[in-house]
Structure 1
Amino acid sequence: MGISRFAYTPIFPLMKLEFSFTDKFAGYLASINYFGYLLGALAGGAIKWPQDRTKSLRLFLTANIISIVAMGLTVDYSYWFILRFIAGLTSGIVFVLIASIIMDFIAQNGLPSWAGLLYGGVGLGIFISGLLVPLFNFYGGWQSAWLGLGVLSIILGTLTWLWVFDERTEIKSQTTNQQNATKSISLPWLIMSYGLEGLGYIVSGTFLVAIINALRGFSSFSSSISWAFVGIAAAPSCILWVKMANRWGHIAMLKLAYFIQVIGISLPLVLPNGFGAIMGALLFGGTFMGITTITLSIARNMYPTQSSKVIGYLTFVYAIGQMIGPIVAGFLTTQTGSYGAAIIFASVVVFLAIILLTFGTSDLRVYLSPKNKLREDEL
């Protein structure tokens, strides 16, 4: 998933260099991927999947991998849009399916901290692509980067085919250390803040390498390596955020993650040098998947027997933000001639997510007592 969704970030500056397309075009190409992701998330939450979700997972995962490989086989712009749409559509469905399968297993076996391992995989994919894209590009250009990552995806996808099974048992309605909240306002507040996260984070998620590449003294190679720093921070971050959330409270840690992300997004603008670029990449990488992990954990614990539906809702609004963000950022960059306005836009949007959570805190009360019953009739 880290390769399928985010390898475009270090590869698109290489494609831009060869074809001389604008940041506005790059934003549209990114947004078609997130439009597909939006539809995939909606379908993932709305479809009544069979009892065994493994076959569906394998089907859409295979289509996703094919879309990665095919990006390296064409130079036709129209095919790029089709392939990135397919990648997004299948990513959204795969994300909902794998998250619900694994989080159901985690809930059934009393292993809440293991959620960090699942989402840490995205960070691992980002780290690998950040390291390999410059290497593949050196030997064969941007097309070899897509093809090389596609081969790696085939290997990883094969492991998923062999090792992932959907073994559902009865989910207990009450578990120790679960979260519970009043639903009438809590879920909408959570959904709105998560939608703003999708809108804000994706600016860095799409343009970070290009932003750093525009800084004085950075080559295309060194700016691409900056994406590896995002992955280095993202891979273990989910586990750390889960542990901190279990100790100090999920909502408090979610607000902290948002605040740190605002700093990470802003740093390349505030400190336009190597230190600002690296620290910005680390802070951004260390928060965006942690935010996903905490948010979906809250929602999953609120509605334990309807995980696919509630994860689908959240992923849907997140995808709406992801679709709009690159278009806005690409337009601002093209109009102003720099990435400054796009960075400010992203920082303000993510800060607004903190404000929404603050307003909704009274409705997002966290109960650690197993005596609290989870109501689901209004979902």
Structure 2
Amino acid sequence: MSGALLAAWSSNLRFKYTLYRIGLVTALVTTFSMGFTTNVVIWLVLRYLSGISSIAGLLLASGLVMNWLLRKGFKPQLGVHLIGLGLGIVVSGIAVGWMSGRLTWDQQWIGLAVLGLFFFVPAWLFMPQPEAIVFSSRQVQYPVPDRTWSILFNLMYFCAGFGFVISATYIVSILEASPFFEGRGSMVWIVVGAAAAPACTIWDKVAGRLGENRTLIYAFIVQTVSILLPVFSDSAWAGFASAILMSAWMGIVSLTLAIVGRIYPNDPARAMAKLTLSYGVAQIIAPAITGYLVTATGSYSSILVITAAIMGAGIGLLLVIERVQSRKDD
């Protein structure tokens, strides 16, 4: 949430570009520093700074890429850009799986920082500097939505954030409780990343045929199914299906950020950041509720059912948004 606030703080694109680079350095330094202390307070500070740099980096990078796409006249879609997020999950999962049992905990942190350095270089060099967009007569300018649409869209993204944090944060713990995945947490994470990498481009193609709002509804449905599968079965097939279908969150994020990025082309990162605040609120509330329910019941089933219901509310909001939009078009 702090990262989203930071990304929304300024409308100066050059400043955002500088913040993006600061975020890259911060992410690398905080990861490396984790291996040199056992002080819990310092750990908390390092992880907080790392979290800020990660979410700010994601939003700022997405905004800068959207700015470049619009300036160059390309389709304003973020699917290809966000493939990197899925690949990052795969690489980190493989790295953690390999280092476990071979390196000590502090060596693992340093190893992850060294691995991150290989991705730092292209992320630093290849991000294009932003410029203000001047639309030509051939380029489509998207109307700024009214307050009702904005409120509904933010509420929808809150629901998406709740579903994401439960899926992404607890998927490994949930599946490791099943006989097949016990002690295979890194495998789960690799499957999640492998499914997430192509998910954005797939959902972009679906949106090209069905429209973005309708595609978001289907993505919500797919993720809801992935959330409910562990409730009804602890089998290996259900676990793999849940991890694979969970990749729908990538489609939700990609489509949502692309929508607001097109509406506010000269400062997409700021618009994305403001929207992500509702996502961030969900990421604060959901773990607190989860901790209480898991402690009280000894199971994740209740929070998974609640999360599925909240995702259902998100589907309802998308249907309302679709109706509101169709009335405006009429």
Indicate if the aligned counterparts of 1:200 and 1:345 stay in contact, CA closer than 8 A. Answer: no
Alignment of 1:360-371 (within 5 A): 360-365=321-326
Q: 1:202 to 1:129 in 2, by over 3 A?
A: same
Aligned to 2:181: 218
Indicate if the aligned counterparts of 2:133 and 2:265 stay in contact, CA closer than 8 A. Answer: no
Given the alignment of the two structures, is residue 278 of structure 1 paired with residue 240 of structure 2, yes or no?
Answer: yes
Aligned to 2:98: 135
Higher mean Cα deviation, 45-54 or 181-190? Answer: 45-54
User: Residue by residue, what CA displacement relative to the aligned partner does 1:204-256 show, whole Å, maximum 9, x if unpaired?
Assistant: 21111111111124331x23201111101110111111111122100000010
Q: What is the deviation of 1:156? A: 0.5
Given the alignment of the two structures, is residue 85 of structure 1 paired with residue 42 of structure 2, yes or no?
Answer: no
SS of equivalent residue, structure 2 residue 11: coil
Percent identity of equivalent pairs:
27
Aligned to 1:333: 294
Q: What is the deviation of 1:306? A: 3.2
Structure 2 residue identity aligned to 1:312: A
Given the alignment of the two structures, is residue 233 of structure 1 paired with residue 195 of structure 2, yes or no?
Answer: yes
Q: 1:351 aligns with which of 312, 318, 328?
A: 312
Q: What is the deviation of 1:167? A: 3.8
Higher mean Cα deviation, 322-331 or 50-59? Answer: 50-59
Aligned to 1:159: 122
User: Residue by residue, what CA displacement relative to the aligned partner does 1:112-141 show, whole Å, maximum 9, x if unpaired?
Assistant: 265211112111111111222111112124
Alignment of 1:86-235 (within 5 A): 86-112=49-75, 115-172=78-135, 180=143, 182-220=145-183, 222-235=184-197
User: Residue by residue, what CA displacement relative to the aligned partner does 1:281-335 show, whole Å, maximum 9, x if unpaired?
Assistant: 00002x1111011011111122222312211111111111112222221221111
Tell me the distance in 1 between the aligned counterparts of 2:327 and 2:26: 39
SS of equivalent residue, structure 2 residue 203: helix
SS of equivalent residue, structure 1 residue 72: helix
Calculate the aligned-residue CA RMSD, in Å.
Answer: 2.3
User: Residue by residue, what CA displacement relative to the aligned partner does 1:91-131 show, whole Å, maximum 9, x if unpaired?
Assistant: 23222221111101111222226521111211111111122
Given the alignment of the two structures, is residue 311 of structure 1 paired with residue 288 of structure 2, yes or no?
Answer: no
SS of equivalent residue, structure 1 residue 361: helix
Q: Which runs of 5+ in 1 are unaligned?
A: 1-37, 369-379
Structure 1 residue identity aligned to 2:284: M
Structure 2 residue identity aligned to 1:348: A
TM-score scaled by length of structure 2: 0.92
Count of matched residue positions in the alignment of Structure 1 and Structure 2: 329
Tell me the distance in 1 between the aligned counterparts of 2:231 and 2:160: 19
Q: What is the deviation of 1:265? A: 1.2
Q: What is the deviation of 1:76? A: 3.4
Structure 2 residue identity aligned to 1:147: I
Tell me the distance in 1 between the aligned counterparts of 2:35 and 2:288: 24
Indicate if the aligned counterparts of 1:123 and 1:232 stay in contact, CA closer than 8 A. Answer: yes
SS of equivalent residue, structure 1 residue 219: coil
Tell me the distance in 1 between the aligned counterparts of 2:77 and 2:256: 15
Q: Which runs of 5+ in 2 are unaligned?
A: none
Tell me the distance in 2 between the aligned counterparts of 1:81 and 1:329: 21
Aligned to 1:51: 14
Alignment of 1:236-251 (within 5 A): 236-251=198-213
Higher mean Cα deviation, 342-351 or 235-244? Answer: 342-351
Indicate if the aligned counterparts of 1:198 and 1:322 stay in contact, CA closer than 8 A. Answer: yes
Q: 1:62 aligns with which of 25, 28, 50?
A: 25
Q: 1:126 to 1:367 in 2, by over 3 A?
A: farther
SS of equivalent residue, structure 2 residue 246: helix
Q: 1:247 to 1:171 in 2, by over 3 A?
A: farther
TM-score scaled by length of structure 1: 0.81
Structure 2 residue identity aligned to 1:252: R
Higher mean Cα deviation, 243-252 or 329-338? Answer: 329-338
Tell me the distance in 1 between the aligned counterparts of 2:327 and 2:193: 31
Higher mean Cα deviation, 113-122 or 325-334? Answer: 113-122
Tell me the distance in 2 between the aligned counterparts of 1:338 and 1:141: 31
SS of equivalent residue, structure 2 residue 101: helix
